[in-house]
C-alpha cells in the first residue's frame, strides 16, 4: 500500500494546496497532510486553525488524513511509514529550493522519494503569503482559497 505525505505550512491553505492534495490522493492509496507546527516565522493562524481549515476543505476526499508535526520532516515520514513526499511546483523559481530540500531529505533518509506535481495554471500565481498580503489590505481572495479560509482571513483582518 503506497502511502504519501503532503507537507507544508498551510498558513493558510490555498486552492493550489487543495489541488495538489486531491491529485496525490488519486495517485496514492493513502495520503497524510502534514502541517508544520513550528515554522521559522510567526504564522498568521495557529496550527489548530490551519488544521480546521484544511479538514473542511478536504472533507470530500476519503483517503486523506491530517496530522501536525514539528522537527524534521524525515522523522515524521519515518514514524508514519510514509515513503513518498508529494509537492507542487509552480514555476522554475520553486524548483531550485524544492530540489535542494528533496535531496537533503533523501540524504537524511535514503529511500524517501520526493515527487512533484506541476501546479494547475489557474493556481500557478498563488501563494499563502500573497493571499495574506491581499487579504490584509482588504482585497478579495474569494475563489483563490477555500470558502472557510476566505472567511477566516476576513475575520482576522477585520477592522
SS3 of 11, please?
A: coil
Radius of gyration of the chain (CA): 15
Question: If binding is defined by CB under 6 A, does position 8 make contact with ligand PNS?
Answer: yes
Question: What separation in angstroms does the CA of 112 have from each of 8, 28, 37, 96?
Answer: 17, 15, 21, 19
Pick 36 or 153: Cβ nearer ligand PNS: 36
CA–CA distance, 130 with 19 (Å, rounded to integer) = 18
> Which one, 105 or 119, has the nearer CB to ligand PNS?
105
**Percent of the chain that is helix, strand, coil (3-state, to 5):** 45, 20, 35
The least distance separating ligand PNS from the CB of residue 85, rounded to whole angstroms, comes to 8
Q: Rule CB under 6 A: say whether 107 interacts with ligand PNS.
A: no
Which residue among 4, 25, 33, 36 contacts ligand PNS (CB under 6 A)? 36
Report yes or no: 136 and 157 within 8 Å, Cβ to Cβ: yes
* Out of 105, 114, 119, 150, the residue judged to bind ligand PNS by CB under 6 A: 105
Burial of 91 per CB tally in 10 Å (0-12, 13-18, 19+): exposed
Name the segment binding ligand PNS (CB under 6 A); options: 18-26, 49-57, 97-105, 112-120: 97-105
Is 15 one of the binding residues for ligand PNS (CB under 6 A)?
no
Q: For this structure, is 151 an active site residue?
A: no
- Which residue from 4, 5, 9, 15 is in contact with ligand PNS, where contact means CB under 6 A? 9
Which residues lie across from 4 on neighbouring strands?
31, 84
Catalytic residue among 17, 23, 50, 87: 17
What are the residues binding ligand PNS (CB under 6 A)?
A: 7-9, 36, 72-73, 101, 104-105
Amino acid at each position: 500500500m503506497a502511502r504519501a505525505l503532503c507537507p507544508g505550512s498551510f498558513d493558510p491553505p490555498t486552492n493550489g494546496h487543495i489541488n495538489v492534495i486531491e491529485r496525490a490522493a488519486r495517485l496514492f492509496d493513502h495520503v497524510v497532510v502534514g502541517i508544520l507546527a513550528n515554522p521559522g516565522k510567526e504564522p498568521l493562524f495557529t496550527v489548530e486553525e490551519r488544521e480546521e481549515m484544511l479538514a473542511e476543505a478536504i472533507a470530500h476526499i476519503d483517503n486523506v488524513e491530517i496530522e501536525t508535526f514539528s522537527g524534521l520532516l524525515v522523522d515524521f515520514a519515518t514514524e508514519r511509514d510514509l515513503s513518498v513526499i508529494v509537492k507542487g511546483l509552480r514555476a522554475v523559481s520553486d524548483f531550485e529550493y524544492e530540489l535542494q530540500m528533496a535531496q537533503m531529505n533523501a540524504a537524511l533518509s535514503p529511500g524517501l522519494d520526493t515527487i512533484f506535481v506541476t501546479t494547475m495554471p489557474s493556481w500557478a500565481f498563488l501563494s499563502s503569503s500573497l493571499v495574506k498580503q491581499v487579504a490584509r489590505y482588504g482585497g478579495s481572495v474569494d475563489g483563490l482559497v477555500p470558502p472557510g479560509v476566505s472567511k477566516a482571513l476576513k475575520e482576522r483582518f477585520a477592522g
